[in-house]
Chain A
Amino acid sequence: MPDPMKIRANQLGDSTEVKVLMSHEMETGQRKDAQGKVIPAWFIQHVDVTCAGKTVLTAQWGTAISKNPFLSFKFKGGNKGDKVVITWVDNRGEKRTDEATVA
Chain B
Amino acid sequence: MYRRLCLAAVAGALAIAANAAQAQGNDTASEIEKYRQALADGNPAELWEARGEAMWKEARGPKKASLEKCDLGMGPGVVKGAYAHLPRYFADTGRVMDLETRIFHCMGTLQGISEAESHKVLFGGPGHRADIEALTAYVTSESKGTVINVSLTDPHMKQMYAIGEKIFFYRGGPHDFACATCHGEDNKRIRLQDLPDLTKKAGAQKAYSTWPAYRVSQGELRTMQWRLNDCFRQQRFPDLVYGSPASIALTTYLAYNANGAVYDGPALKR
Contact = CB atoms under 8 A, between A and B. Distances in A.
A52 to B, nearest CB: 18
Given A58-B2, A64-B13, A65-B10, A70 B47 contact: no
A59 B50 contact: no
A64 B219 CA distance: 15
Q: DSSP class of B's interface residues: helix, strand, loop or mixed?
A: helix
A71 interface: yes
Contacts of A62: 10
Contact of B6 (A25, A61, A69): A61
Nearest to A62: B10
Contacts of B9: 59, 61, 65, 69, 71
Contacts of A64: 10, 13-14
A7 to B, nearest CB: 11
Contacts, number: 56
Interface string A1-31: 0011010100000000001010101010000
A35 interface: no
B13 A66 contact: yes
Contact of A3 (B39, B51, B126): B51
A6 B9 CA distance: 18
Contacts of A73: 5
Interface residues of A, number: 26
User: Number of contact residues on B: which range applies?
Assistant: 20 to 34
Contact of B47 (A23, A57, A72): A23
B46 to A, nearest CB: 5
Interface in A30-64: 39, 57-62, 64
Interface string B36-66: 0001011110110011000000000000000
B6 A6 contact: no
A57 B126 contact: no
A18 to B, nearest CB: 11
Nearest to A17: B41
A60 B6 contact: yes
A74 B31 CA distance: 25
Contact of B13 (A25, A57, A59, A65): A65
B47 A3 contact: yes
A19 B42 contact: yes
A60 B2 contact: yes
Contacts of A70: 39, 42, 44
A69 B46 CA distance: 12
Given A19-B41, A21-B46, A66-B216, 20 more contacts: A3-B51, A4-B50, A6-B46, A6-B50, A21-B44, A23-B47, A27-B126, A57-B2, A59-B2, A59-B9, A60-B2, A60-B6, A64-B14, A65-B9, A66-B16, A67-B44, A68-B47, A71-B9, A72-B41, A73-B5
A-B complex: 6 closest residue pairs judged by Cβ atoms: A70-B42, A68-B44, A67-B219, A23-B47, A58-B2, A59-B6
9 contacts: A21-B46, A25-B126, A25-B219, A39-B126, A66-B13, A66-B216, A66-B219, A67-B44, A72-B42
